[in-house]
Amino acid sequence: MLPTLNGRIQTRIFLLAVVGGLWTLLISPVLPGIGSGSLAEIYRMTFIVLLTTLILGIGWEFVYHLLQQFRWEKDWPTFFGLITVVNEGVLVWLLLGLGVVPGLAGGVPLSAFLVLFATTWLLVWLAANGPMRVPFVHWRFHGGRLL
Amino acid sequence: MRRSAVREETILLPGSAGAYVPDPSGAAQPGDLTTELIETDWWSDDLVARAGIPVVDVPFVSIGGGIGSFVTVDYLRICGVPTSSIRVLTQLEHPWESYEYLTRVSQIPREERLRSDSASCPDNIWGFPSYAVREAFATKSPRRLLQVAVEPIFDDYYTPKAGHAFATMEKEYHRISYPETVVKGQVRMVRRRVGGGYFTILTPPENTTPTRRVAYRSRFVHVAIGYPGLKFLPDLMDYRERHRDYSSVVNAYEPHEQIYSRLRAGPGTVLVRGGGIVASRVLQRLIDDRDARGLQTQILHVFRTFTTKSHGPHIWMRRRGGDGWAYQGFNYPKSVWGGQLKSRMRKLEGNARADLYKIFGGTNTPRRRSWQRQMARGRAEGWYRPFQGEITAMEPHGAGNVRVELKTEHGLEKVTVLGVIDCTGLEADISEHRVLADLLEHSGAGRNPLDRLDVDRTFEVRGTRNDPGRMHASGTATLGGYFPGVDTFLGLQIAAQEIADDLARLGFCKRLGPIRSTSQWWKWARGKPV
């Protein structure tokens, strides 16, 4: 990808909200290890994880933008977009473990978290590397900005 | 009567302009340019009628007919413009003719790979599915998908095969009914019309029309004439002119198979000059031949600037380099096509813009692993010797050899070689192209900070506006503008998008919003007409 900082943030919000939101809606009921909670409780848990990822992600974009400055091409290789699942996933998991994420005092089962986080990440990454350009034909030439 | 307008130091391209010279007897020809027309900047309908030149009305005219015209017409067709509203005036048989010629002679035949990104698809404005995805499906192998996913960290940048690009362009060419828009002939000039819009004067092929010229009266004109000309360096021209030897000292952009044939016939040393992608490809060809046929070719490689390490103005702007080369994946740092550098350049004016062009300019080539291995082997085995130097003299030296004198860091060096392959080139000044020269002289066009055609952010040619008409330009003639990557597949598409957006604002075509974009993509995916 060839993002600008503004484009990164806009793309992050859009893709996590739309692709991530739809996927979370679909996958939440069948996540492993979620026990016998009601559907409302499950959705509450998974959407808080998604929202946490989105909010922390905006912070991460500043870090990535800084790292991008060391690159001559000022690009963000496709692989970086995939591998950053590790640092972002670990941070969200640590914060969940510390109980500092509002609304999730009871924590999240690890297996459910891993499946939710990894599959959402993969879908968002795939969407950003192709299908996104179908409805938004200007997007890739505008540094990832939608507005 | 015709003569070639291509000067001797210019490399001949397919469809190169042949300039019309008036009949020396002074006899008037029906429907020809008159002195009054030639000397008048603004033409009225009456003025053209008085000259007896027939007028064809069409809203949009694209001049050139190469890949620049093709991707612009592609955008307009996708934005709902019928073929009857478009005329492409060209000497080319098909849009990729010149490009394919240049890539082929510079050692990128159809089965070799271009220096172009996976998502830079002149046949597909969305760049999805990209060439890598399509190649993976066609070959039923995930190899290319994996490559594009991990490039350039764990693998080289994926680049498409030239043949893949041409074949897919041909498919799109038929899908959008491009041939219906084509009119063959040579464009002589574009002049502003009194009352709005433009007249484009076309010289059709001889004996195909009752008059020598035909005028296209249009609201919009798009200028995409490609390279004004590719020039040889003066020392190469000087050698050829003095010794009438055109086969031993060659430019890589002209056919030079004779050098490879002679190396196959017997051992020889060849001197390669230049540090760009063409030099890389020529080296690959020489080494591939050496390996495949067990040849004993010795390769001397002279760089004017010998890069030994990463270089650049500061830590945030360092380009990788080594073994003579400056390394870069594509013609420009990647983000000029959409990211940070595109956004930055768009804000710069005058010298500040020229300075940024200078920072990421300079000859460079991709750091491909296969080339690195070949050169490392050559250096280790002593048959490939790269060095810094400049050619100071060349003389014939019996049996088709050339004696070359070089100024190097170790002083003067003399070598005898079987041939010199010059992989450097100069682009001619825009005024060497008749259409551009006429625009500069008569139609209000000007030059940008790099002395090429000055275009706005929308690719409108500044100074030529003639309401309600507009003149746009794309391609290499506009290098130096607010967008740097103009002379590339993706750059032509970026220009086409800006032009289509500008024309949509003027009501000529539909805006490409999410719904139209998606529905048009679906048609593309199924191979259905627009």
- Per DSSP, the residues of A88-101 read HHHHHHHHHHTT-S
Share of chain B above pLDDT 90, in %: 88
Chain B interface mutation, best of A1, A2, A84, highest count of B Cβ atoms under 10 Å: A2
Closest CA in chain B for residue A69: B316
Is B329–A3 a contact, with Cβ atoms under 8 angstroms apart? no
Q: Which DSSP string do the residues of B344-380 spell out, in sequence order?
A: HHTT--HHHHHHHHHHH-S--B---HHHHHHHHHHHH
What integer is the mean pLDDT of A49-76? Answer: 97
Structure confidence at residue B192 as a pLDDT band (50, 70, 90): very high
Total beta-carbon pairs less than 8 A apart between chain A and chain B: 98
| Eight-state DSSP code of residue B157 | P
Distance of CA B488 to the CA centre of its chain: 7
Determine the pLDDT at residue B14.
67
Determine the pLDDT at residue B329.
93
Closest CA in chain A for residue B483: A141
Task: Answer yes or no: are the C-beta atoms of B6 and B17 closer than 8 Å.
Answer: yes
Share of chain B above pLDDT 70, in %: 95
In the predicted structure, residue B430 carries a pLDDT above the cut 80: yes
Please give the single-letter amino acid code of residue B404.
V
Structure confidence at residue A104 as a pLDDT band (50, 70, 90): confident
Report yes or no: B315 at the A interface, CB cutoff 8 Å.
Answer: yes
Region of B228 please: left (phi>0), alpha (psi -120 to 50) or beta: alpha
Is B514–A135 a contact, with Cβ atoms under 8 angstroms apart? yes
Token code pair at residue B126: 């969305």
ipTM at complex level? 0.95
In the predicted structure, residue B94 carries a pLDDT above the cut 90: yes
In the predicted structure, residue B27 carries a pLDDT above the cut 70: no
**For residue range B193-246, what is the model confidence (pLDDT) as tens digits?**
999 999 999 999 988 999 999 999 999 999 999 988 778 888 999 999 999 999
Chain A interface mutation, best of B126, B156, B319, highest count of A Cβ atoms under 10 Å: B126
List the Cα angle A79/A138/B475 in 5-degree steps.
95
Report yes or no: B361 at the A interface, CB cutoff 8 Å.
Answer: no
C-alpha B530/C-alpha B174 separation (Å) is 11
For residue B210, whether the previous peptide bond is cis, meaning omega lies within 30 degrees of 0, is: no
Q: Is B127 helix (H, G, I), strand (E, B) or coil?
A: coil
Structure confidence at residue B11 as a pLDDT band (50, 70, 90): low
Is A79–B521 a contact, with Cβ atoms under 8 angstroms apart? no
Chain A residues touching chain B at CB-CB below 8 Å:
1-4, 7, 68-70, 72-75, 77-80, 82, 130-131, 133-138, 140-144
**A111-120, A130-139, B418-427: segment of lowest average pLDDT:** B418-427
